[in-house]
Structure 1
Amino acid sequence: MDLDGDWPLPRPNTRFKVNRRPAGSSLTKSSTIADTFSSLATPVIAEALQRSKALSTQSDAEGFHQLRIAFRRLRALYWAYSPYLGEDVATQATEELRRLAAVAGGTRDWDIAGDLLKAAQESGASIEPLVAAVRQKRAEAVVDSQAVIQSADVEAFLTDVSLRAQTMLQSRCSDLPIRAFARKRVRLAQRTLQKRSRRAARSETTHEEDLHDVRKAGKKLRYLLEFFQPVLKDRHDRTIKDLTTVQNKLGTFNDIAASETLIRNASFNDVPAGVVQESLQWLEEQKYRRMLAASRQVRAVADAGWCDQER
């Protein structure tokens, strides 16, 4: 088994088309801060609404995953523009987007746990009762996620916070150019990633929390580079590619760590305790091996010097 590769996850089963025009493709150096927010947010909001609508009647694993990503990308965008949005607008948007991302991720988390347990079975573990129980947990998570997404009225929320953000930006920075602002926000995200990576790399003992912090900072930087690349001084295709590689390594480790926590904290009344313990032991062993690969990636990030690229 290739322990540095990704675990096989459920295949996409998307039944609608999403506009894949690169976010920020309409940005130019003469664009203003206010104008660019709408052009960047609109396609991501459109995808989130399409995904939400489809998931009200479907339980597609990839659909829930992509919805969570859309909410995370919007959070990164609101963080980027927060200096001009004001605390109330930025906080309301980011907190609710965080909650919605967690709701969308509930089903995805059980999908990942189930996939890992199948890998454990293939390696010889006798854990069929737990595999079946996890399938049931996944079905329950689908119902819960669909109910919350419907009750949250995602369209009304996204329309409201988008309009409030646009109104605030038009009143505060309608004539300010985007390029210097984008470079400043990217530099801040780069430095945050570098700081967290170096802190994790200096530690004699690798901690899950440090790796998680690096992963979150790397996501934010990658999303901002994808958003703002058209107006940045240099091309960042290589950096985005490297960040994606790092995220894949850290994401694989996070999948195992999160699945272990999920199973440890869940109740499985009809599953023998020994079966649950055998599964947790297998996940612990895989987590340790994946942690080594993730730690190597973090040390590479700490030495990469990405915070010096955008001057």
Structure 2
Amino acid sequence: MNMDGDWPLPRPNTLFKVRRRPAGSWLSKASSVADTFSSLAMPVVAEAVQRAQQLSTNSDAEGFHQLRVAFRKLRALYWAYSPYLGEEASAPAIEEFARLAAVAGGTRDWDIAGDLLKAAQASNPSIELLVVAAREKRAQAVVHSQAMIKSDDVESFLNGALLRAQTMLQSRCNDLPVRAFARKRVRLAQRKLQKRSRRVTLNETAHEEDLHDVRKAGKKLRYLLEFFQPVIKGRHDRTIKELTSVQNKLGQFNDIAASETLIRSASFNEVPPEVVQASLQWLEKQKFQRMHAASRRVRAIAS
């Protein structure tokens, strides 16, 4: 079977099977820009479909997290191919991927907040009241996520988006080799990360928004390197490893910042205000520490 050939697209209600080979393992420098899109997108779509089906009856936290990751990878992939997809095809899909990622992430966010509150409870036992309340919020988030994921008919949407994108790419870049295209998009993602990292280095005090921008740019670059590594020159394992290390630091900071925002925006009728305030003070202190650790790591890669 010619894995670089044109892949037939599934019908809207076809059930994908998850491919065990990593995305991009079929690519070669002889592949066309249009051909590579299917081989990269289909395994990610397959995983998203399977995760969504499992989560319709299962509330596994890791499952929600992996579904969110799948939608983030699809956002990065559509961004990479946006010069040929055009705004009319890429923008609505990217927007919908972001919305679905947020829906899937609601449960995961309360899991993270709950774990942090348990840690805070060690220094203030009264925070146990908020831990219990956060567990209830998590249960509500599960119901909401399951309802939204089911009603959105994720499988039909993804198959339709994939079909439209592939049809457009075949009409616009079916004969263009992928290597130069992939290298150009990776370089652009690198420049975006460097620009956002330098913004952090120019400020004596790190800003949450700047660190969040670095985190998003780093994820996009890492996903693109993982997608295109088989066809672009040079070994990028070290870069991917460094990006993962930076992402871990930024992720630890983001967990604190997101949890603080989540708790501030939620209502806890059964929890005394002073308990909520005590938890927020603990989170604020932890956020300050993690912000410094994350900004140091970003400054290190920027230099």
In the superposition, the TM-score normalised over structure 1's length comes to: 0.91
Aligned-pair identity (%): 77
Tell me how large the CA RMSD over aligned residues is: 1.0
Please state whether the residue corresponding to 1:230 is helix, strand or coil: coil
Check conservation: 1:249, 1:294, Cα contact below 8 A: yes
> What is the one-letter code of the residue matched to 2:112?
I
1:116-149 per-residue CA deviation (whole Å, 9 max, x = no partner) reads 0011112444211100000000000000000000
1:236-290 per-residue CA deviation (whole Å, 9 max, x = no partner) reads 0000000000000000000000000000110001100010000000000000000
Question: How many residues were matched structurally?
Answer: 287
> What is the one-letter code of the residue matched to 2:147?
A
The equivalent of 1:208 in structure 2 is 208
Q: Tell me the distance in 2 between the aligned counterparts of 1:77 and 1:199.
A: 25
Q: Tell me the distance in 1 between the aligned counterparts of 2:264 and 2:19.
A: 39
Matches within 5 A, 1:73-92: 73-92=73-92
Check conservation: 1:125, 1:278, Cα contact below 8 A: no
Matches within 5 A, 1:100-249: 100-249=100-249
The equivalent of 1:13 in structure 2 is none
In the superposition, the TM-score normalised over structure 2's length comes to: 0.93
> What is the one-letter code of the residue matched to 1:43?
P
> What is the one-letter code of the residue matched to 1:144?
H
> Is 1:257 the equivalent of 2:257?
yes
Deviation, 1:18, is 5.2
Matches within 5 A, 1:9-88: 19-88=19-88
Q: Tell me the distance in 1 between the aligned counterparts of 2:23 and 2:114.
A: 33
> What is the one-letter code of the residue matched to 1:195?
K
> What is the one-letter code of the residue matched to 1:210?
D
Deviation, 1:29, is 0.5
Deviation, 1:200, is 1.1
1:62-102 per-residue CA deviation (whole Å, 9 max, x = no partner) reads 00000000000000000000000011110111000000000
Q: Tell me the distance in 2 between the aligned counterparts of 1:232 and 1:255.
A: 33
Q: Tell me the distance in 2 between the aligned counterparts of 1:55 and 1:24.
A: 26
The equivalent of 1:12 in structure 2 is none
Q: Tell me the distance in 2 between the aligned counterparts of 1:18 and 1:185.
A: 27
> Is 1:98 the equivalent of 2:98?
yes
Check conservation: 1:107, 1:145, Cα contact below 8 A: yes
Check conservation: 1:114, 1:131, Cα contact below 8 A: yes
1:141-196 per-residue CA deviation (whole Å, 9 max, x = no partner) reads 00000000011110111001100000000000000000000000000000000000
The equivalent of 1:296 in structure 2 is 296
Check conservation: 1:85, 1:165, Cα contact below 8 A: yes
Give the unaligned 5+ runs of structure 2: 1-16
Matches within 5 A, 1:260-271: 260-271=260-271
Give the unaligned 5+ runs of structure 1: 1-16, 304-311
> What is the one-letter code of the residue matched to 1:243?
L
Q: Tell me the distance in 2 between the aligned counterparts of 1:184 and 1:75.
A: 18
Matches within 5 A, 1:278-297: 278-297=278-297
Q: Tell me the distance in 1 between the aligned counterparts of 2:204 and 2:223.
A: 30
Q: Tell me the distance in 2 between the aligned counterparts of 1:200 and 1:251.
A: 16
Q: Tell me the distance in 1 between the aligned counterparts of 2:242 and 2:145.
A: 33
Q: Tell me the distance in 1 between the aligned counterparts of 2:57 and 2:27.
A: 36
1:181-214 per-residue CA deviation (whole Å, 9 max, x = no partner) reads 0000000000000000001111122100000000
